[in-house]
Amino acid sequence: MNEFNSSISEIVVAVDIGTTKVCAIAGRRNQYNKIEILGIGKVKSEGVSRGVVSNIDKTVKAIKEAVEIAEKSANCKFKKVHVGIAGQHIKSIHHHGILMREEGLEEISKADVEKLINDMYRLVLPPGDKILHVIPQEFTVDDEQDIIEPVGMSGVRLEANFHIITGQITASRNILRCVEKIGLEVADITLEPIASAAAVLSKEEKEAGIALVDIGGGTTDISIFKDGIIRHTAVIPFAGNVITNDIKEGCTVMQEYAEKLKIRFGSALADEIYDNRIITIAGLRGREPKEISEKNLSRIIQARVEEIFDYVLWEIRRSGFEGKLFGGIVITGGGSLLKNINLLSEYHTGLNTRIGIPTEHLAHKYDGMVDSPIYSTGIGLLINAIENGKISGHTEEIGKQKPEVVQAKKEEEFQLVEEAYEPKQNKEDKKWFGKFFTLAKEFFEASPDSEF
């Protein structure tokens, strides 16, 4: 048992604060280097609009409910959490950094690389923005270019290209405030498309070149990888909620019915609808029922999804990797559950497309718990936290104490039962036996007296 426990990491907690849901996931790495899911809590989100917190109180309530559900199933108390950030305010820039070393004959150390990375945080940004991530691309040592790992080499001039991701200070501060209001500490804030990529993309896909399209409720997050390095990130303010609004306006139905129509009958490709069924919706307050053609519903959805993929193509061209993404496109997030969306992506972009499900890094017995694209960001936050080593002090170790409390409770209940039933039975036995003994004594004592 000691060998088994020694290879298991501490419990890590991730909170995905999305436009349509808030999801809290607790997990750890097992001895086979796979992720074990210990607890999941998912509730509806009402205080987030297009990936940004718009109502503090509603968001705090949703986070609290999700965390409590996850704590109950994980059998531990959370202290630190990893959260994701998204929204239209996210921007990415490229910058070139140079570090001149005094000791050119000595080997380049990790401290030199970290110093070059930390220098990027001094860049002058527009008012209200902050740097979220600084991701090195390729290094150059003197005249030697395209170096992935410069540590151990010798050189005077160390250069690197950086992919820098920025966001608004107020957006990240509102996330911190919401989490801190329920008594938790934010261990790290990660860009959601980076987290989703860690959950659904393989190493080979990142090497070949791939575009990850995470279609959520309020935003569509794009991350482009090539040669194993993230090259471009972007956030599009069109996603599942916009599709629902289009159905609401196009079919003149309530928001609730529009969402149900999208989930149950919606298709991203109208040409795949052959039978063209008629969907009947109950009228409002006794009015006549409304009839909607399934093909017309799909046409409304297809128009908006094509617009989303137009933006995806534009971001691919802007990144400079058009025609170089041999892995094609991976679609994940709740929007990827839309029927035939992978076919529409292939027809519209010309790139091979698959649906990304975050089960590649999970232990097999947990596949059924989170085998849906809606958990990609939460699982990715767990993976990033474990790989980066930021896993200490996330939970309060009450899992070992709880069996003792339960056992004590069982013993207490047993004692109460024993006092409630067994002593009563003994008293009745004693009472009956005492009465019998008295009668027998009187009988045997009384008989001789009567005889004599």
CATH code of 233's domain: 3.30.420.40
pLDDT of residue 400: 44
- pLDDT over 50 at 382, yes or no: yes
- pLDDT tens, position by position, 237-264: 889 999 999 999 998 888 899 999 999 9
What pLDDT is attached to residue 397? Answer: 55
- 344 and 419, same domain (yes or no): no
Are 160 and 208 part of one and the same domain?
no
212 and 317 assigned to the same domain:
yes
Segments forming the whole domain that contains residue 142:
91-167
pLDDT of residue 209: 94
Identify the pLDDT of residue 331: 96
Mean pLDDT of all residues belonging to the chain: 83
The better pLDDT of the pair 360, 365 is held by 360
Count of domains in the chain? 3
Domain final residue, candidates 302, 330, 359: 359
Residue 219 shares a structural domain with residue 342: yes
Residue 369 has pLDDT above 80, yes or no: no
Assigned domain for 327 exists:
yes
Identify whether residues 235 and 340 lie together within a single domain: yes
What do you get for the CA distance between the two ends of the chain, in Å?
81
Stronger pLDDT, 426 or 35, i.e. the higher one: 35
Q: Is residue 230 part of a domain?
A: yes
Whether residue 85 lies inside any domain: the answer is: no
Q: Which long-range contacts (CB under 8 A, 24 or more apart) does 180-184 make?
A: 181/56, 181/60, 182/60, 182/63, 182/64, 182/67, 184/67, 184/78, 184/79, 184/80, 184/81
Q: Say if strands 210-215 and 91-100 run parallel, antiparallel, or are unpaired.
A: unpaired
Percentage of the chain exceeding pLDDT 70: 83
Evaluate if residue 417 carries a pLDDT over 50. no
Same domain, 236 and 327: yes
Is the domain of 145 the same as that of 209?
Answer: no
Residues 279 and 214 in one domain: yes
* Domain end position, chosen among 306, 332, 359: 359
Assess if residue 53 is contained within a domain: no
308 inside domain:
yes
pLDDT, one tens digit per residue, over 90-138 is 999 999 999 998 877 788 989 999 999 999 999 999 999 999 999 998 8
Q: Could you tell me if 208 and 344 lie in one domain? A: yes
Listed in sequence order, the residues at least 6 apart from 339 whose beta carbon sits closer than 8 Å to its beta carbon are 266, 267, 268, 272
Shared-domain flag, residues 135 and 267: no
Q: Are residues 219 and 153 part of one domain?
A: no
Closest CA to 323 of 215, 234, 211, 197: 211
Last residue of a domain, one of 337, 359, 381: 359
pLDDT confidence of residue 1? 32
Lowest mean pLDDT among 89-93, 296-300, 415-419, 433-437: 415-419
More confident position, 413 or 43? 43
pLDDT score at 267:
93
Q: Which residues contact 403 (CB under 8 A, 6 or more apart)?
A: none
Shared-domain flag, residues 225 and 340 = yes
What is the per-residue pLDDT across 48-58, written as a single tens digit (0 to 9) for each? 988 889 999 99
Q: Tell me the Ramachandran region of residue 221: left when phi exceeds 0, alpha when psi lies from -120 to 50, beta otherwise.
A: beta
Determine, yes or no, domain membership for 37. Answer: no
pLDDT interval class at 363 (50, 70, 90)? confident
**Is residue 148 one of the residues assigned to a domain?**
yes
Question: Which has more confidence, 399 or 16?
Answer: 16
Quote the pLDDT of residue 3: 34
- CATH number reported for the structural domain that contains residue 149 in this entry: 3.30.1490.110
pLDDT for 432 = 46
Is residue 294 assigned to a domain? yes
